[in-house]
Each structure stands twice: as structure tokens, then as C-alpha cells.
Amino acid sequence: MTPFMASKIGCKSGSNDSSNVNAYTNGVANNDNKYCLFAVVNHSGTIETGHYTAFIRQHRDQWFKCDDHLIMRASVQEVLDSEGYLLFYHKQILEYE
């Protein structure tokens, strides 16, 4: 944690109280948070000039590459091999009663 962040609400910033940190991390570990990647933005070129493309996922493993007006099917391997500039995820929520 950085000195400007507290481990939980009401905790003094920069506190070294390990019991507060352990209580917080144990609570977080009990939450089953799962995220799915659904889009990857890539940049090619330099800082001054360049080109953006994107991979988007329609269904579980159905990916498309968007390059201006061209939209083509893409493989999962193409997505994994790309150098992602920006990644988009959505949270998977499973609710039990």
C-alpha cells in the first residue's frame, strides 16, 4: 500500500498496524471476484503518430479485430499475442440464495 492509502475506512493513512491490514485482506480473499476480458485496444506507431486497433469478444471465445472500417474474425491466440494498450474487463457475478 502507498502512504496515501488506508487499508480500510477510518484507518489512518500510512498506519503500520498489521492487524488492520490482515483483517482487510482476509475479507477481500473471501470474496470470489472473477473478471472476464472483453476488449483489448492496441496502438502501433509512435507517440506523435500512430494507429489504434481493437479486439472485441462477442461470445465466450469469439473474437473480432476492428481496424477502422474493417472488422474481421480473430483467434484467441491473436488477442493473446497482441500488445494491449488498454484492457476492458467485466465482473462475473454469481449470486447464491
Domain spans, the chain = 34-92
What are the pLDDT digits (tens) for 50-63? Answer: 999 999 999 888 99
Nearest alpha carbon to residue 77 among 55, 58, 59: 55
Q: What's the pLDDT score for residue 52?
A: 96
pLDDT category at 2 given cuts 50, 70, 90 is: very low
Q: What's the pLDDT score for residue 47?
A: 86
What are the pLDDT digits (tens) for 3-50? Answer: 444 455 555 555 555 555 555 555 555 556 889 999 999 999 998 999
pLDDT category at 80 given cuts 50, 70, 90 is: very high
